[in-house]
Chains A and B, each alone.
Chain A
Amino acid sequence: MNKKSWFSILFVMMFIFSAFLAGCSYEKPASNNTGSAGSDDGDAGAARDEIKVGLDVDAGTMDPRLSKDTSAKRVSELVYDGLIRLSANLEPEPGLAEKWESPDPTTWVFTLREDVTFHDGEPFTAEDVKYTFDSLIDPDFQAPYASLYEPIKSVEVVDDYQVKFTLKEPSAPLLSYLDIGIVPKHIGEKNDNTLSNNPIGTGPYKMVKWDKNSKISFEANDKYWGGSPKTNKLTYFIIPDNSTRVASLESGDIDIVHSPLSPQDIKRIKENDQFEVIETEGLGFTYLNFNQKHPILSDLKVRQAIAHLVNKEIISSDIYQGMDTPGKSPLIPASWAYDESISGFSYDPAKAAALFKEAGWEDSDGDSILDKDGEKLKITLSTHSEDPNRMQAVEYLQNEFTKNGVETEVKTSEWPTFSTGLTEGNFDIALVGWLNLVDPDRSFYNPFHTNGGSNYGKYSNATVDELIEKGRTTLEQAERKSFYQEAAKIVTEEVAYDVLLYQGYIAMYNKNLKGFTEHPAGSFYGLKDAEITN
Chain B
Amino acid sequence: MATFIVKRFFQFIPVLLGISILVFFLLHLIPGDPALTLLGQDATKEDLERLRNVLGLNEPLYIQLMVFLKNLFQGDLGISIFQDTPVITLISTHLPATLELAVVAMIIALLIAIPLGIISAVKQFSWLDYGSMFFAQIGVSMPVFWMGLLLIIGFSVNLNILPSFGRGEPLLDAFVQTIQTGNLFYLVDSLQHIILPAFTLGVMSAALITRMVRSAMLEVLKEDYIRTAEAKGVRGIVVIMKHAFRNALIPVVTIVGLQFGNLLGGAIVTETVFAWPGIGRLVITAISQRDFPVVQGCVLMIALIFALINLIVDILYAIINPKIQQG
A residues lining the B interface (CB < 8 Å): 3, 20-21, 23-29, 34, 36-39, 41, 58, 60-61, 66, 68, 139, 142, 144-148, 193, 196-197, 211-215, 237-241, 243-245, 247-248, 250-253, 386, 413-417, 419-421, 423, 434, 446, 453-454
Cβ–Cβ < 8 Å partners of A212 in chain B: 83, 85, 90, 93-94, 277
State which of B165, B185, B274 has its C-beta within 8 Å of the C-beta of A237. Answer: B165
Stretch with Cβ within 8 A of A (4 or more), from B105-113, B250-258, B281-289: B281-289
Cβ–Cβ < 8 Å partners of B310 in chain A: none
Q: Does B229 contact A (CB under 8 A)?
A: no
State which of A36, A41, A245, A416 has its C-beta within 8 Å of the C-beta of B168. Answer: A36
Q: Does B263 contact A (CB under 8 A)?
A: no
Q: Are A29 and B185 in contact (CB under 8 A)?
A: yes
Q: Does B240 contact A (CB under 8 A)?
A: no
A37 to B165, CA, bound (A): 8
A58 to B282, CA, bound (A): 11
Q: Are B183 and A243 in contact (CB under 8 A)?
A: no
Cβ–Cβ < 8 Å partners of A252 in chain B: 160
B168 nearest CB across to chain A (Å): 4
Q: Known: A24-B178, A239-B166. Is A148-B42 also a contact (CB below 8 A)?
A: yes
Q: Are A251 and B164 in contact (CB under 8 A)?
A: yes
The 3 closest A-B pairs by CB, nearest first: A416-B32, A214-B277, A26-B184
Q: Known: A38-B163, A212-B94. Is A420-B31 also a contact (CB below 8 A)?
A: yes
State which of B164, B167, B290 has its C-beta within 8 Å of the C-beta of A214. Answer: B167
State which of A24, A39, A68, A446 has its C-beta within 8 Å of the C-beta of B39. Answer: A68
B residues lining the A interface (CB < 8 Å): 30-34, 36-47, 50-51, 54, 82-85, 90, 93-94, 149, 152-153, 156-157, 160-169, 178-179, 181-186, 188-190, 192-193, 246, 272-275, 277, 281-282, 285, 288-290
Q: Tell me what chain B mostly uses at the interface: helix, strand, loop, or mixed.
A: helix
Cβ–Cβ < 8 Å partners of B30 in chain A: 416-417
A480 nearest CB across to chain B (Å): 20
A250 to B125, CA, bound (A): 47
Cβ–Cβ < 8 Å partners of B182 in chain A: 23-25
A48 to B85, CA, bound (A): 34
A37 to B62, CA, bound (A): 47
Most buried by B among A148, A240, A416, A421: A416
Q: Are B277 and A244 in contact (CB under 8 A)?
A: no
Most buried by A among B40, B83, B193, B275: B275
Q: Are A241 and B41 in contact (CB under 8 A)?
A: no
A20 to B178, CA, bound (A): 10
Cβ–Cβ < 8 Å partners of B167 in chain A: 36, 214
What are 19 pairs between A and B in contact, CB < 8 Å?
A25-B183, A34-B186, A36-B163, A39-B163, A60-B82, A144-B39, A147-B43, A197-B85, A211-B93, A211-B277, A212-B83, A215-B166, A239-B275, A244-B152, A248-B156, A251-B163, A253-B164, A417-B32, A419-B36
Q: Are B273 and A37 in contact (CB under 8 A)?
A: no
B186 nearest CB across to chain A (Å): 7
A518 to B184, CA, bound (A): 39
Q: Are B184 and A247 in contact (CB under 8 A)?
A: no
Q: Known: A24-B184, A60-B82, A213-B277. Is A147-B41 also a contact (CB below 8 A)?
A: no
Q: Are A240 and B272 in contact (CB under 8 A)?
A: yes
A7 nearest CB across to chain B (Å): 9
A421 to B165, CA, bound (A): 35
Q: Known: A29-B183, A38-B192, A247-B153. Is A196-B84 also a contact (CB below 8 A)?
A: yes
Query: Which residue from chain B places its CB closest to the CB of A214 in the assembled complex?
Result: B277
A139 to B39, CA, bound (A): 13
A381 nearest CB across to chain B (Å): 18
Taking A68-B39, A244-B275, A386-B288 as given, write out 8 further A-B residue pairs in contact, using a Cβ cutoff of 8 Å, ordered by the A residue number.
A21-B184, A29-B185, A39-B161, A213-B94, A213-B282, A247-B164, A248-B156, A415-B37
Q: Are A142 and B51 in contact (CB under 8 A)?
A: yes
Q: Are A145 and B42 in contact (CB under 8 A)?
A: yes
Q: Are B32 and A414 in contact (CB under 8 A)?
A: yes
A56 to B82, CA, bound (A): 16
A417 to B31, CA, bound (A): 5
Cβ–Cβ < 8 Å partners of A36 in chain B: 163, 166-169, 189-190, 193
A243 to B157, CA, bound (A): 11
Q: Known: A215-B166, A250-B157. Is A139-B50 also a contact (CB below 8 A)?
A: yes
A53 to B285, CA, bound (A): 21
A197 to B38, CA, bound (A): 17
A253 to B167, CA, bound (A): 12
A23 to B37, CA, bound (A): 54
Q: Are B149 and A243 in contact (CB under 8 A)?
A: yes
A423 to B48, CA, bound (A): 11
A139 to B167, CA, bound (A): 40
A429 nearest CB across to chain B (Å): 17
